[in-house]
Amino acid sequence: MAVVEWIFGELSHDVSRRLHWFLFFRGRSYKSQIYKTNDSGLGNDDNDYSEGYLFDPYEKKWYQLTFPFLPPGFSPRSSSSGIVIWVSDKAGPKQFIVANPIAMMFTYLPPTQTSRMCPSIGLVATDSSFYVMVAGEDMPSQFSVKNLTTESFLIDSVANYYFPWDITSALPNLYNSESTRMVFVEGRFYCMNYSPFGIWSYDIATNQWNKIQTPMHRHLRSPSLVECRGRLLLVAAVEKAKLKVQRGMRLWGLQDETWDEVDKMPQQLYEEFEAVENNNGFDCVGHGDFITITILGSDKVLLFDFRQKVWEWVPQCPYVPPYGSGGGELHGFAYEPRLTTPVMNQLAILPPN
């Protein structure tokens, strides 16, 4: 049975049911590929984003999706409420393709006002509203890339708001986000900052940036921010030989600007993970009760189930050749397969640029 038919059957019986799934793509890490593409002037040949791989964490099953509407030169960057956005790879004003992959609906947003290389991108969508922001990697000239501004786009059919791309704030002087990924929790976007190490939050109501300290910040490796159960979590490896705490993978939750440890990976599994990861780095995505951990340079995926308190390896995706024999590393997004995404209808009738 095709995934679309299965989802239609499941959701038609209970339209309120939410599926906290994940959507994976294979290829190089986004930022390294973008710089390679723009430095060489060649297309994005190393990555094939015309297909994706849906993972059902409840049944541990994989499904394949294809995106025939997707032109070359676009990479998946964010997702929310059944919507995925692909963003142009080429340096310059960024173009956006907004799509519901299950319904095969897609549309284009107007390009950003500001030329950018590889900005951080945040997205939050509901049935009636759509808000996307880009931050940093401004290009004041062809040969200059600086972290200067935040730019946002908003449409809200209930409030009858339409605000096309506009500069909404200046970036803090010490802003230096390498992840390009933003996480949305209760009215704020969050992103990791490097050198100095920390976390930035952006309030979409006030357009204000604030700095948040991290736990054990000098001893963390490959930190990732994820959203689970409406809460911001930090996932990272703790690796410092002189620490009194054991090396391993830990999770902290943010509550009123205070971090509390909420779980850690069993030590035997962490040693298995460490052998596969081999200091190459990893990335994490949260959705509902689940967190997935993907390893750079590998097609293996780890899953943590908050409800069951279980850590386990995910079955190999049958649609992806093994890494090193034509396959590529996997990069994931939280994804809620939905038959309808009403806000797409509003986006489709936007006025021309």
**SS3 call for 274:** helix
Residue with tokens 């294979």: 26
Torsion angle of the four alpha carbons 170, 128, 80, 193, in this order, in degrees rounded to the nearest 10: 20
Residue type at 80 in one-letter notation: S
Is the per-residue pLDDT at 278 higher than 50?
yes
pLDDT band at 146 (very low <50, low <70, confident <90, very high): very high
Name the residue ranges covered by the structural domains of the chain.
3-348
Residue 165 exposed, middle or buried by CB count within 10 Å (0-12, 13-18, 19+): buried
Of 26-40, 97-111, 238-252, the range with the lowest mean pLDDT is 26-40
Please state, in angstroms and as integers, the Cα–Cα distance from residue 153 to each residue in 87, 210, 231, 346, following that order.
Answer: 14, 21, 24, 13
The predicted pLDDT at position 241 comes to 59
Tens of pLDDT, residue by residue over 195-232, are 778 899 999 999 999 999 888 777 888 999 999 999 99
The predicted pLDDT at position 124 comes to 97
What sign for the dihedral angle of Cα 249, 254, 259, 260? negative
For the sheet with 188-193, list strands across it. Answer: 183-185, 188-193, 198-203, 208-212
What CATH number is given for 3-348 in this structure?
2.120.10.80
Residue 10 has a CB neighbour count (10 Å cut-off) of 13
Tens of pLDDT, residue by residue over 170-194, are 999 989 887 678 999 999 999 998 8
The predicted pLDDT at position 352 comes to 61
The predicted pLDDT at position 350 comes to 79
Residue type at 347 in one-letter notation: L
Is the per-residue pLDDT at 233 higher than 60?
yes
The predicted pLDDT at position 167 comes to 97
Cis peptide before 266 (omega within 30 of 0): no
